[in-house]
């Protein structure tokens, strides 16, 4: 009798495990359908507000995004049925809202055809989703990345060095772009952050015990031996050195923040966070004295509404215009297509948050930030649910990268912190950022599927 009961219990548990992936994908289907419907509604409201009519072009934009997103959903049903059901719908909705706002700005500036930023963004969305599908299909086991820890570290450094190669680099306010044959340009630093995340995760897994227990104790902190920490510091210093030379403060903050967050997750020591904050403070103090472009950003931040600074070249005009746009939107916004976000320079990229805030209001902007919060929390949950340290560090590092990037951009345009040169994930126009963020989505989906398939160790 006991044997029969145990067998029945095992069968019930097996059936539940078989139903769980189907339930996850069904939940994802309905959430994805809702995300596509909201994106379509945003396109419709943009046209009604800005044009007073509905152009059939909206079917191409909204339909194209929906087809690509559901293609990835179908792939997940086949090869990664246990993947997290919330990551894809949230990324799709954020991308759809971004394209809708970019399309609204194109209407205001009378941009059409391939010259329109929304058309380019849709093309980059197709490339991004194709890359995400390829990662989900080809990367059957994310632990394979652990074998190539040092190769990813080298790739990250090479990507950061590309803008310095004669004939590839594009000179501008920040030397972070490269051009391939004059046909298209991209920002290699966006891909470098993923490579460095894999490197940091792999190396910290190998040296975690030494980092926490081996070394000299000074001021109550166990300092690791240089042979354990040395390679990480070399990659970190090289990365920051290249970024300083490129005049790209935002990417420097992003990589350093990711490094400190992953170090804290690996060691569990708050002292590393405090050391990191002290290093940031020291670095900022030195940079403001030595680097003129950093000092200029602080001047624009501290005295933004000074008429002399507003009218100066490279001054705070853009920042002030964005703040005025947010104030114009108020609590509920002017309505999609009925504001004037085009008055702010680079409203489709660096300042897409003020553009959305003006037409969706504080309530709409808060909803967008909640989407980011859920996305990041799901990524951290994916990492913490796993039983292998590499997956935990990689998922946490990638999720924190998105969170820090949002904080840097939203804090910059709202004058909480000095503005830096980054893009708002999924929303802002820019192919490099969009591709990198969708690759992060694919990696999180793969890690979540692998985590749920891992056998659980039951104690007791």
Residue 377 pLDDT greater than 90, yes or no: yes
The mean-pLDDT minimum among 104-118, 270-284, 298-312 falls in 270-284
User: Over pLDDT 70: what percentage of the chain?
Assistant: 81
Give 94's pLDDT tier (boundaries 50, 70, 90). very high
Residue 226 pLDDT greater than 50, yes or no: yes
> Which of the two residues, 340 and 166, has the higher pLDDT score?
340
> Which of the two residues, 366 and 455, has the higher pLDDT score?
366
The pLDDT value given to residue 160: 83
* Range ranked top by mean pLDDT from 274-278, 340-344, 421-425: 340-344
CB atoms within 10 A of CB 13: 10
Q: What is the pLDDT of residues 197-212, one digit of tens each?
A: 999 899 888 877 766 6
The pLDDT value given to residue 263: 81
The mean-pLDDT minimum among 139-148, 227-236, 302-311 falls in 227-236
The pLDDT value given to residue 1: 47
The pLDDT value given to residue 255: 82
Residue 354 pLDDT greater than 90, yes or no: yes
The pLDDT value given to residue 373: 95
User: Over pLDDT 90: what percentage of the chain?
Assistant: 33
Q: Rounded mean pLDDT of the chain? A: 82
> Which of the two residues, 281 and 19, has the higher pLDDT score?
281
The mean-pLDDT minimum among 185-199, 254-268, 321-335, 406-420 falls in 254-268
Residue 77 pLDDT greater than 60, yes or no: yes
The pLDDT value given to residue 233: 66
In the block, tokens 């507000």 appear at 49
The pLDDT value given to residue 221: 59
> Which of the two residues, 153 and 273, has the higher pLDDT score?
153
Residue 348 pLDDT greater than 60, yes or no: yes
Q: What is the pLDDT of residues 397-450, one digit of tens each?
A: 999 999 999 999 999 899 888 887 788 999 998 888 899 999 999 999 999 998
Residue 353 pLDDT greater than 90, yes or no: yes
Give 95's pLDDT tier (boundaries 50, 70, 90). very high
Residue 459 pLDDT greater than 60, yes or no: no
Residue 8 pLDDT greater than 50, yes or no: no
Residue 153 pLDDT greater than 50, yes or no: yes
Give 171's pLDDT tier (boundaries 50, 70, 90). low
The pLDDT value given to residue 210: 67
The pLDDT value given to residue 243: 63
Give 16's pLDDT tier (boundaries 50, 70, 90). very low
């Amino acid at each position: 009798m006991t044997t029969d009961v145990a067998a029945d219990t095992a069968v019930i548990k097996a059936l539940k495990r078989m139903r769980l992936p189907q339930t996850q994908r069904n939940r994802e289907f309905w959430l994805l359908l809702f995300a596509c419907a909201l994106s379509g509604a945003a396109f419709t409201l943009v046209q009604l507000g800005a044009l007073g009519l509905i152009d059939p072009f909206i079917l191409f934009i909204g339909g194209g995004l929906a087809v690509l997103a559901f293609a990835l959903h179908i792939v997940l049903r086949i090869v990664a049925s246990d993947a997290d059901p919330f990551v894809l719908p949230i990324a799709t909705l954020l991308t759809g809202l971004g394209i809708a706002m970019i399309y609204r700005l194109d209407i205001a500036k009378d941009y059409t055809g391939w010259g329109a930023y929304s058309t380019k963004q849709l093309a980059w969305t197709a490339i991004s989703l194709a890359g995400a599908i390829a990662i989900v299909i080809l990367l059957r086991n994310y632990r394979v990345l652990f074998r190539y820890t040092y190769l990813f570290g080298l790739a990250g450094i090479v990507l950061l060095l590309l803008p310095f190669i004669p004939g590839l680099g594009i000179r501008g306010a920040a030397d972070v772009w490269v051009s391939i044959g004059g046909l298209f340009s991209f920002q290699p630093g966006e891909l470098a952050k993923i490579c460095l995340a894999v490197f940091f995760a792999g190396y910290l897994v190998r040296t975690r015990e030494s980092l926490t227990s081996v070394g000299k104790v000074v001021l109550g902190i166990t300092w690791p031996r240089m042979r354990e920490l040395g390679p990480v510091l070399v990659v970190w210093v090289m990365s920051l050195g290249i970024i300083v030379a490129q005049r790209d403060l935002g990417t420097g903050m992003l990589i350093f923040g990711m490094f400190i967050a992953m170090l804290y997750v690996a060691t569990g020591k708050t002292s590393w966070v405090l050391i990191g904050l002290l290093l940031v403070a020291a670095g900022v103090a030195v940079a403001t004295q030595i680097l003129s472009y950093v000092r200029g950003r602080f001047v624009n931040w501290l005295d933004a509404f000074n008429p002399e600074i507003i009218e100066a070249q490279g001054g705070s005009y853009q920042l002030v215009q964005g703040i005025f746009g947010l104030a114009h939107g108020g609590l509920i916004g002017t309505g999609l297509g009925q504001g004037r976000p085009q008055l702010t320079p680079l409203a489709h990229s660096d300042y897409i948050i003020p553009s959305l805030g003006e037409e969706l209001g504080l309530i709409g902007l808060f909803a967008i930030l909640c989407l980011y919060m859920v996305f990041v929390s799901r990524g951290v949950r994916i990492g913490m649910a796993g039983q292998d340290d590499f997956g935990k560090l990689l998922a946490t590092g990638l999720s924190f990268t998105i969170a820090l990037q949002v904080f840097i951009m939203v804090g910059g345009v709202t004058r909480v912190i000095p503005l830096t040169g980054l893009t708002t994930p999924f929303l802002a126009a820019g192919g490099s950022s969009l591709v990198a963020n969708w690759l992060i989505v694919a990696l999180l989906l793969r890690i979540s599927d692998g985590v749920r398939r891992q056998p659980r160790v039951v104690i007791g």
